[in-house]
Amino acid sequence: MIISFPNMGHCWPAFKTLFNTLDESIEVVLPDPTNREAIKIGVKYSPEFVCFPFKATLGDFVSAIKKGADTLVMAIDCGPCRFGFYASVQERILHDMGYKHVRVIPLDQADLLELKWVKTLFEIAPPKNNKLALYSNAIKAVISFVKKAKLLNDIQTAEGLFRAYERNQGATTDTVQKLLVSLDETKKLNELRKFKTVIKNTFNEIDVDKTRTPLRVGVSGEIHISLEPYVNLDIRRKLGEMGCEIHQSLSLYDWVVHKFHLNYHRKWLEHLSHPHVPMDIGGECVWVLGEYIDKARADFDGFIHQYPFTCMPEVTARTIITNKLKKKYNLPTIFFSFDEQSASEGFRTRLEAFVDLMHSRRNQEIKTKAEFIANGNKKIYPHYGSNFYNECAQLIKTQ
Ligand code: SF4
């Protein structure tokens, strides 16, 4: 069996580990990084009205099949939006395209406590003679997957912070690439336990200018668009290089923990958004609204909401922010809707204009608010972020 899965930013080391540890005879191939060609293929063979992530992931699947993959894994949910149909429709399209030998295995992640995903893992690696060995491999695979997902989350946190301080543009991007390769090569659980220190030490090698006071920006939106840099036109890198510190809690780990009902940060966001949307309507709608309110209360300089064109849940979130929340909270916000037509030049211009707006708003604040004037015309940001974020902030301060 040669297995593959679609691109979603930096998540690949976690998925690769999951399948490799499950059964050593499974070969994992990665699709090429999402590119224009993959999008062209995805757009050509997908229904015109379908969501953009469907098209992008279909293009990734074709790329993986061309590299030999015969089994493709696609996450599914129970709805309420179109995500529940991705796997079955994509399989039919691939068969119609002539790839009749290919199977698309749906990985049900609607509620991970229902353990439907365990059946899927055993479907991928069926028990042979030694059932005990399979169970022990499955447990090890899941632990390694969750550990790597957590470490990827830490890399994302550090990346959002360090890039705003780097003296040599590109140093953070290079560090992230180096860490991804190193994380992929780390197989043993005891080495994974120490990898958090590796992340901190590697980021600490970046030459930073600690005198800067970067703008604090919250980034949220639909998961595929938020995590895959090709489809979001690399918004995190561009924003970071414009001097913004990025806070994005959405990650693979954040999602998996949420689906195990253990994500208390998400429960807090649900509490904040409850008066506006009292139930999950798909996508990240509920949590985007919670993030918006949370960031506004934490005195952030701006908020970015990104989503695929035609995504119903995210358009609902946008409408609630624009029509209701903006009247209550003074948080500059910009919305980006992405599809196959998105082009980087107009996008960059809008992003630069937004950064200028945040700068002028902050300049106004530091000239008029007594506590900022008393602080030498410097904005004081409230304490915010995870323990790991604060450990990284400390590293920058003491460099
Ligand atoms: S969240 Fe949006 S983009 Fe994703 S499947 Fe649902 S409607 Fe489509």
Q: How far is the CA of 209 from the centre of ligand 1 (A)?
A: 40
pLDDT digits (tens, 9 = 90+) for 24-43: 889 999 999 999 999 999 99
Mean pLDDT within 99-115: 88
Under 8 Å between Cβ of 218 and 332: no
Q: Rounded mean pLDDT of 59-69?
A: 98
Q: Which contiguous run of DSSP H or E holds residue 4?
A: strand 2-4
The pLDDT tens digits for 190-223 are 999 999 999 999 999 999 999 999 999 999 999 9
Is residue 186 classed exposed, middle or buried when 0-12, 13-18 and 19+ CB atoms within 10 A define those classes? buried
User: Which tens digits make up the pLDDT trace of 80-104?
Assistant: 788 888 999 999 999 999 999 999 9
- Can you tell me the distance from the alpha carbon of 298 to that of 292, in angstroms, rounded to the nearest whole number? 10
Residue with tokens 């690949």: 12
Please state, as a whole number, how many other Cβ atoms lie within 10 Å of the Cβ of residue 205.
10
Query: What integer is the mean pLDDT of 223-249?
Result: 97
Is residue 242 within 8 Å of 214, Cβ to Cβ?
A: no
CATH of 212-398, one of 3.20.20.80, 3.40.50.11900, 2.60.40.290, 3.40.50.1370: 3.40.50.11900
* 3-state secondary structure string across 72-133: EEEEECCCCCHHHHHHHHHHHHHHHCCCCCCEEEEEECCCHHHCHHHHHHHHHCCCCCCHHH
CA of 373 to the centre of ligand 1 (A): 45
Evaluate: CB of 81 within 6 angstroms of ligand 1. Answer: yes
Q: Please report the pLDDT score of residue 243 as a whole number.
A: 95
Spatial separation of the C-alpha atoms in residues 50 and 41, rounded to whole Å: 14
CA–centroid distance, 339 to ligand 1, in Å, is 12
- pLDDT of 79 higher than 70: no
Q: Residue 132 CB: number of other CB atoms within 10 A?
A: 9
Q: Ligand 1 mean position to 34 CA, how many Å?
A: 19
Query: Ligand 1 atom 6: the closest Cα is on which residue?
Result: 81
pLDDT above 70 for 129: no
What token pair was written down for 232?
């979001």
For atom 8 of ligand 1, the residue with the nearest CA is 51
Q: DSSP secondary-structure letter at 342?
A: -
User: Where do runs of H (alpha helix) occur along 23-85?
Assistant: 36-45, 52-66
Give the global pTM: 0.94
Smallest CA-to-CA distance from 206 within 241, 179, 171, 236 is with 171
How far apart are the C-alpha atoms of 186 and 202, rounded to whole Å? 15
Which residue minimizes the CA distance to atom 7 of ligand 1? 311
For residue 342, pLDDT beyond 70: yes
Instruction: Map out the domains of the chain as residue ranges.
Output: 2-126, 212-398
Supply the mean pLDDT for the chain. 94
121: which residues sit within 8 A by CB, 6+ positions away? 22, 138, 141, 142
Pairing mode of beta strands 103-108, 71-76? parallel
By most ligand atoms within 8 Å of CB, the mutation choice from 48, 76, 77, 222 for ligand 1 is 222
Indicate whether 155 pLDDT > 80: yes
Is the minimum distance from the CB of 221 to ligand 1 under 6 angstroms?
A: no
> Pairing between strand 302-308 and 333-338?
parallel
Provide, for the chain, the percentages of residues in helix, strand and coil under a 3-state DSSP scheme, each rounded to the nearest 5. Answer: 60, 10, 30
User: What separation in Å is there between the alpha carbon of 170 and the centre of ligand 1?
Assistant: 32
> Where is 18: in which H helix or E strand?
helix 12-22
Q: Alpha-carbon distance 179 to 167, whole Å?
A: 20
Q: Residue 50 and residue 43: Cα distance in Å, rounded?
A: 9
CATH of 2-126, one of 2.70.98, 3.80.10, 3.40.50, 3.30.1360: 3.40.50
For the segment 120-137, the average pLDDT, to the nearest whole number, is 77
Span 268-311, pLDDT tens digits: 999 999 999 999 898 999 999 999 999 999 999 999 999 999 89
DSSP secondary structure string for all residues of 134-198: HHHHHHHHHHHHHHHHHHHHHHHHHHHHHTTTBSSTTHHHHHHHHHHHHHHH---HHHHHHHHHH
